Structure 1
Amino acid sequence: MNVINPVMWSVHVGFAVLWVGSVLFVTLAVLPPALRGEIGTTALGSVVGRLRWITRISAVAFVLSGGHMAGTLYTFEALTGTPRGHLVLTMLGLWFVGTGLVEVAGSKLADGLDADKLREPAREAKPFLYGASAVSLGLIVTAGLLASPSLL
């Protein structure tokens, strides 16, 4: 029995849930009080730092687990020439965009917090966090389509 495939699927899905949940949590639960000035800069800095670390660790996990899955399930022709392959490539693109958006938002927040500001960096990070949240929802939809072989 090949144990590596279910382990890779579990790692991939586990980190996807962690990353998407973290992005949505920061956007929906942490950003609004920051915009109103109702959260301390130290607390916000801690949350932003954790989100950035989760994003970076997830990146490594996604490359390893997703690379394994793509390498064992798809050929280059299947990735570029089939609907399922297109979904995998869409997921990869969305993930790159989402990661970039989180990094930009985190950088704007961290720079502002270092200057002991709160509302201004939260406003500057808001569109990037909203974008990352939209992308993360797109990833969930794409993953759902990939998990539904009857649709393709």
Structure 2
Amino acid sequence: MTAVDAAMYATHLVFAGLWAGSVLFTTYAVLPTAMNGDARPAPLSAMTGKLQTVSRASALLLLLTGGYLAQANYTVGSLTGSGRGHLVIAMVVLWFTLAALVEVGSAKLSDGFDRQKVREPAREARPFLLGASLVAVLLLVDAGAILGLYY
């Protein structure tokens, strides 16, 4: 493994963990706080903005590092003709799904917080963030399965 390969793997793993953790924390801690009306819109809006930033930056970095890792480790035949390749394809599908769910959920939160509402936007965003949390966990499980087949 080259230094570039190691840097790509490390960046990929760090941002995958950061993204998944941010989504899970938002769903577990921020969303219930908003649904209970226990916080003002301004701090909740700032947290939602940070989630969007982490999500977008992570999505971009995962696209770049994942693309590098895929071209370095797979051919079209190995992606479509092996269990490990199928897991990589599943990861890409889950990655797009996570990005979409976080974008929709955080947009619902941001729009409501901008209107100085708290409970209503949290209720509207809840299904999207719960779905995003499930997808984030599935992505981590998928990554573990890929590594398990590697070693």
TM range (shorter): over 0.9
- Aligned equivalent of 1:105: 105
The answer as to 2:25 corresponding to 1:16 is: no
Q: CA RMSD in A?
A: 1.2
Alignment of 1:1-152 (within 5 A): 2-149=2-149
User: For 1:51-86, what per-residue CA distance to the aligned partner results, in whole angstroms no more than 9, with x for missing partners?
Assistant: 001011011100110000000000011111110000
Query: 1-side partners of 2:133 and 2:98: how far apart?
Result: 8
Q: For 2:150 and 2:102, how far apart are their aligned partners in 1?
A: 33
The percent identity for this pair of structures is 47
**1-structure distance, mates of 2:25, 2:39:** 15
* Deviation >4 Å, runs of 4+: none
* Deviations 1:90-136 (CA, angstroms, capped at 9, x unpaired): 01100100110000001101111111111000000000000000000
Matched residue SS, 1:116:
coil
Query: Deviation at 1:149?
Result: 2.1
Structure 2 CA distance, aligned partners of 1:51 and 1:107? 11
CA displacement 1:8-53 (0-9 Å, x = unmatched): 0000000001000000000001111100000111111001000001
TM normalised by structure 1 equals 0.96
1:146, CA displacement in angstroms?
0.6
